[in-house]
Structure 1
Amino acid sequence: MKIVVLGGGESGFGAAYLAKKKGMEVFLSDKGLIKEDFKKLLIDADIEFEEGQHSEERILAADWIIKSPGIPKKADIIFKINQKGIRLSSEIEFASQFTDAKIIAITGSNGKTTTTSLIYHILKNDDLKVGLGGNIGKSFAKQVADEDFDYYVLEVSSFQLDDIQNFRPYISLLLNLSQDHLDQYNYNYEEYALAKFRITENQENDNFFIYNKDDVMSQNLLEKLEIKAKMIPFSTKEKLKEGGYLNDNKMVVKLADEFSMKIEELSLVGNHNIANSLAASIAGKILQINNESIRNSLMTFQAVEHRLEQVAEIDGVKFINDSKATNVNATYYALESMKQPAVWIVGGVDKGNDYTEIEELVKKKVKAIVCLGLDNQKIIDFFQDKTELIYSTSSMEEAVKVSKSLAEKGNTVLLSPCCASFDLFNNYEDRGNQFKNEVLK
């Protein structure tokens, strides 16, 4: 079988490596330049590759094409592949065909990385043989090739779900839905939401689907869709007969038996993290992990880097790195958790953002806005009459200096950009690391 892999990053290399190991004929093509460390891995694995171009004739002669999630579905080469009717899959689809391990897959607009890491921590803490992959950790395909895990916990994006055919998790979780990546979904919120729901489309009645009963869009779509998996809800607003909910500052999970824990014992703070902890606990109970082990995991879990990460306190000013907040809803959670007046660093590549969702929170919590991006005009126009102080900057060094000059003792400087990072940075990690470096300088 002729396999072509598009994209030479973590997921692309992993897919090519697995295909090679399975005895397939493999060719990897990247329109950009491949990083030196991945190039070396490709050479060591004797995988043929090209960079800086797509050799169309060769690509379109493939039996199966594996696409990295970063390649836009509107790209010219993707159009041609679809025209020819060649099977086009994501790495998660491809790798899942070669493992019998139970897959726990997590999607949603916000909280994916935290909840995926938390479920992985719960399983690892219970001494299960488990791998972490998808949008986080090491390549899922590479682990399928080299490891012998019984479980995989995968963070899954809508882009990866766009390119599945048979992907069937044992447990799927849809944490929440908010308007994100609309530029890739014809600026249609329902189209984006339905892409997320694909996580459950191949599940059968011996599988589980964990969903958020408080999420309006999820509830609307559940009325139209036929879900075969056993559905288990969680809610922070109402008591449930089955699932996870809040009751008198306690989180409760009711399945075959009951698990409960005081909110103050959780290592994660904020309302959104109570929802994430409920979802993760339900997954733990489905996998028959005992209550004591789940409780211990929820108490010992360390928050994810670049997600409400406390960097330092300098002269009474807290500096918080929330660079992973690349949409308005993620920033909503960050602002909601602020206990002190905030100097808010915001901006980057706008993905069709509607800032009305956070307008009232900004009026209540933010004393100054520092825009960070090549084009800050949309943010300035929207917020100029909502706060007295608004500044435009075009480098992290400048943004941190301006923020420090504005912040007084008892304030918080919050980097929570609402936007993608690609105008000034390689990715959100690069943006978060630069913020931390400038703060510590």
Structure 2
Amino acid sequence: MNELVIILGAGESGVGAALLAKQKGFDCFVSDGGQLKNAHKAELEENGIEFEEGTHSEEKILSAALVIKSPGIPEKNELVKKIRAKGIEMISEIEWAYRYIGDSRVIAITGSNGKTTTTALTYHICKHAGLDCALVGNIGISFARQVANDPKPLYVAEISSFQLDDIVTFRPHIAILTNITEDHLDRYDYSFRNYINSKFRIALNQQSSDYFIYNADDEVTVQHIKEFPILSNPLPFSMRKELLQGAFIKEQEMTVANSDEKLQMSIYDFALKGKHNQYNTMAAGLAASVIGLRKDKIREAIQSFEALEHRMEHVATVRGIEFINDSKATNVNSTWYALESMTKPTILILGGVDKGNDYAQILDLVKEKVKAIVCMGVDNRKIHEAFQNDVSVMVNTGSAAEAVHASFQLADKGDVVLLSPACASFDLFRNYEDRGNQFKAAVREL
């Protein structure tokens, strides 16, 4: 097979795509405009895969039969435009992996918020029930790497809108859409509509034997669902109404009804606390019931799940002040969910790279629950403008350690310090994990 497969971007998904291409006998070449991580470099060398870093050999790339593009590279990239103009097929690593899974099935989860927790919980339930499955996509290892190195009969995949943009045949047996709120608009020409279209692509190729699980309380989802020709079986979940098919919570009890069988469980038995996690638990519970897992196994797994790092993670209580790390909150809606679950006076740490945020969404919750805002970013003007009339104490800090110290000074015994930034982290940190880790380290040094 002499067809040249080019992989653009050599992060986890790019290296995974290259390993799969090599295994399937393709001539492949990896091109990254930045610098590769040493581990990725070593892996490519070890497998005899050609690569380049810090540059793109345009002529070679434009001679490809197929290009697999990293989700981080936008359509407006000049090289991407040239590839499109030449009519070369360009797909995402998710699509590439899907083409080689054979009879295996996929549970795919997307959404603006809650997708990581929902994916991890769904995987935990499947593992607990004894299924041979893998956790792939945005969480865990890349889908293509898993297919190349250790194929499984079931894949539980967290999938971003960027990955969905470049699918062609990708068809999950179960698709979950947690919710849609304004996010990443810089990648979608500042059009919310484009972003909505992207999220619904998760159900694009589904057939009548598949399932589409969605949040019936999410106004954007419900408003637009009829505009898409979804052929799969709809399974909504809600806290506002009882459903004959789907999942709902009424009087603190969750009911999951996917056939004649019903699973019922008190929300007080959920390992994950907070209203947003009740939605995530309903979605995961529905997916588990669709694939036919036993009710007792689903119940046990929901009770035993451990929360993920950087997502409403309790760090420590210091002199009666609780510190919570929600660094994964990179948009306003995530911060809304975090604040909504707060029951004590809160010192809120906000800030970072603004992705076109509308802070009005959290203003009511801030008025109700927040006694001080600690800004942690290079440019905090927009946060000051949004809250200066409603929060009497606002301070600027330029590092995680400074933010922790300032919050500790402002807090009283019985208060909570909540890092839930509503912004991307790239102004001061490598990524949200780095931000969360620096926050935790600073708390532990108090």
The residue number in structure 2 matching 1:263 is: 267
Q: CA deviation at 1:424?
A: 0.9
The residue number in structure 2 matching 1:310 is: 314
The residue number in structure 2 matching 1:79 is: 81
1:395 matched to 2:387? The reply is no
State the identity as a percent. 51
Deviations 1:233-272 (A, max 9, x none): 1101111111000122100011211001001000000111
TM-score (norm 1): 0.99
Q: In structure 1, what is the Cα distance between the partners aligned to 2:139 and 2:118?
A: 11
1:209 matched to 2:212? The reply is yes
- Tell me, which stretches of 5 or more residues in structure 2 are unaligned? none
Letter in 1 for 2:126: L
Letter in 2 for 1:80: K
Q: In structure 1, what is the Cα distance between the partners aligned to 2:375 and 2:55?
A: 35
Aligned partner (choices 8, 26, 29) of residue 27 of structure 1: 29
The residue number in structure 1 matching 2:377 is: 373
Deviations 1:176-205 (A, max 9, x none): 011111111111112101100000001111
Q: Secondary structure at the match of 1:403?
A: helix
The residue number in structure 1 matching 2:336 is: 332
- Tell me, which stretches of 5 or more residues in structure 1 are unaligned? none
Contact 2:373–2:393 (CA under 8 A) maintained in structure 1: yes
Q: Secondary structure at the match of 1:233?
A: strand
Q: CA deviation at 1:85?
A: 1.2
Letter in 2 for 1:153: V
1:157 matched to 2:160? The reply is yes
Q: In structure 2, what is the Cα distance between the partners aligned to 1:153 and 1:347?
A: 32
The residue number in structure 2 matching 1:417 is: 421
Letter in 2 for 1:34: L
Matches within 5 A, 1:226-245: 226-245=229-248
Aligned partner (choices 26, 48, 51) of residue 49 of structure 1: 51
Q: In structure 2, what is the Cα distance between the partners aligned to 1:357 and 1:230?
A: 33
Letter in 2 for 1:434: Q
Letter in 2 for 1:430: D
The residue number in structure 1 matching 2:357 is: 353
The residue number in structure 2 matching 1:15 is: 17
Q: In structure 1, what is the Cα distance between the partners aligned to 2:234 and 2:337?
A: 26
The residue number in structure 1 matching 2:435 is: 431
The residue number in structure 2 matching 1:342 is: 346
Letter in 2 for 1:437: A
Q: In structure 2, what is the Cα distance between the partners aligned to 1:160 and 1:183?
A: 16
The residue number in structure 1 matching 2:6 is: 4
Q: In structure 2, what is the Cα distance between the partners aligned to 1:81 and 1:393?
A: 43
Deviations 1:62-91 (A, max 9, x none): 111111111122211111111111111111
TM-score (norm 2): 0.98
Q: Secondary structure at the match of 2:79?
A: helix
The residue number in structure 1 matching 2:64 is: 62
1:40 matched to 2:38? The reply is no
Q: In structure 1, what is the Cα distance between the partners aligned to 2:119 and 2:130?
A: 17
Q: CA deviation at 1:223?
A: 2.0
The residue number in structure 2 matching 1:301 is: 305
Aligned residues: 441
The residue number in structure 1 matching 2:118 is: 115
Q: In structure 2, what is the Cα distance between the partners aligned to 1:72 and 1:225?
A: 24
The residue number in structure 1 matching 2:193 is: 190
Q: Secondary structure at the match of 2:112?
A: coil
Which segments of structure 1 move beyond 2 Å, counting only runs of 4 or more?
A: none
Contact 2:325–2:439 (CA under 8 A) maintained in structure 1: yes
Letter in 2 for 1:214: D
Q: CA deviation at 1:150?
A: 0.8
Q: In structure 2, what is the Cα distance between the partners aligned to 1:275 and 1:252?
A: 12
Letter in 1 for 2:314: Q
Q: In structure 2, what is the Cα distance between the partners aligned to 1:193 and 1:221?
A: 8
Q: CA deviation at 1:432?
A: 0.5
Deviations 1:343-392 (A, max 9, x none): 11111110000011100100111111011111111111111111000011
Deviations 1:22-48 (A, max 9, x none): 110010011000011111111111110
Cα RMSD between the aligned structures? Answer: 0.8
Contact 2:352–2:423 (CA under 8 A) maintained in structure 1: yes
Q: In structure 1, what is the Cα distance between the partners aligned to 2:442 and 2:51?
A: 38
Aligned partner (choices 387, 411, 414) of residue 407 of structure 1: 411
